[in-house]
Amino acid sequence: MDTARAHEQFLRTRIFPGLDGLRCLSIMLVVAYHVSGHHSGFLGRGYLGVSLFFAISGFLITSLLLRETDTHGHISLARFYGRRALRIFPLYYAVLGAYVVLTLLFEKGGSEKADFFRNLPAFLTYTSNWFVMLEPDKRIIFYFAWSLATEEQFYLLWPGVMRLAHRWGAVFFMTGLLIIAVWAPWAVEAGMLDESVLSVRILASFSPSICMGCLAAYAVHSRRGFSWVYRMLGPAWAAPLMMVLVLLAVGTNGTPFWLTSSLMAGLVTATCIRTDHWLMPVLALRPVRYIGLISYGIYLMHMLALNVVRRAVPGQGFEVNFALTLALTVVMAGLSYRYFESRFLRLKERLAAGPSPAEPSRVASTAPASSPAP
């Protein structure tokens, strides 16, 4: 297919069918990381699954907002925020409420219980990535909310920037954020910045993967940029090759974080710019897509499921704990999606006269969610 026709087909695509498969990979990596408790090797780097979630989110949201701008001449912030709130908030606050009750009932004193309630305002306001610091070998209840905070801050900031700024202005803005996102953590590690300072933690909280996903979406939205990217990522073999490279980067200690993020953004882009690549038969498998669809619920509930499994069948190895945790979490998240979240999803769709091009479709709407948690 020539690049002009491929670009037109890409712009007409409203649902990217491979993204749920990538979300499945992301959440499996995160669950495996938590179940294993390893700190080295492939399982020990499974927390990087969150970066793939971030790359998906940056690419998807930016692509759909660009299309809304082309179609309607502007971005409806009210509709965007309303639909995002209905998708994200109900389950998040329901699970957080469950953590409050369970912590009161089962945490018999100790610093973990006191820390949880001290951190509760940050969890309630999606600011835990700024105010809740991870300490070595210390258990922090609900720490995984840091990634959800990162997502929410992205949702809050980026649509407004895209609406107010000229297209190149938004690109320059996101490029600047990317530079900060790469430099700030390095500067903290090198001792140039003090992580105990709030402003430094805010600078270090930007996600390179989100930034790269956003910039990739801008690149392929224009015909010239699409033509350039399609030469590299358009062949049918490009998506499986990017998948292999991503898995190698995740499994290799010492891989620079910026390189892993770049490869993940490349994988997302290769998956979306054509839908008949050689990886699609795997990504389109029904169980794979289903796990991706309910990945938001899986992420929020998998630590609860893991604790249940460890109490119910103590002393088991990784394989048994992983299989039981995944199975229990899929059941919990599936029931939540069908009987709880679906009520708000119907309200979300009623918020607009029809499907909004500025919002993820049913397939896309499970995007927010995953991070390493102790």
Question: Does 272 map to a domain?
Answer: yes
Determine the average pLDDT of the residues in 11-24.
92
Question: Does 210 map to a domain?
Answer: yes
The Cα 369–Cα 150 span in angstroms is 9
pLDDT bin (cut points 50, 70, 90) of residue 158 is: very high
Residue 199: Cβ within 10 Å count: 10
- The token pair at 97 is 């409420």
Query: Strand, helix or coil at 282?
Result: helix
DSSP 283-307: HT-HHHHHHHHTHHHHHHHHHHHHH
Q: pLDDT, tens digit, for every residue of 144-156?
A: 999 999 999 999 9
pLDDT greater than 90 at residue 202 = yes
Question: Does 244 map to a domain?
Answer: yes
Residue 321: Cβ within 10 Å count: 20
pLDDT greater than 60 at residue 183 = yes
Question: Does 90 map to a domain?
Answer: yes
Determine the average pLDDT of the residues in 166-186.
95
- The token pair at 103 is 């912590």
Predicted confidence at residue 86, as pLDDT, reads 92
pLDDT bin (cut points 50, 70, 90) of residue 352 is: low
The Cα 203–Cα 221 span in angstroms is 28
Question: Does 187 map to a domain?
Answer: yes
Predicted confidence at residue 37, as pLDDT, reads 83
Q: Find the domain containing 282 and state its range.
A: 3-7+23-129+141-366
Question: Terminus-to-terminus CA distance in the chain, angstroms?
Answer: 47
Question: Does 55 map to a domain?
Answer: yes
For the ranges 11-15, 107-111, 326-330, the maximum mean pLDDT occurs at: 326-330
Q: Which amino acid is at 81?
A: Y
Measured CA angle at 351 (ends 345, 357), to 5 deg? 85
Tallying the residues shown for the chain, one arrives at 374
The Cα 279–Cα 62 span in angstroms is 24
Question: Does 163 map to a domain?
Answer: yes
3-state secondary structure 239-267: HHHHHHHHHHHHHCCCCCHHHHHHHHHHH
**CA-closest candidate to residue 215, choices 163, 148, 268, 257:** 268
Q: What is the domain count for the chain?
A: 1
Question: Does 135 map to a domain?
Answer: no
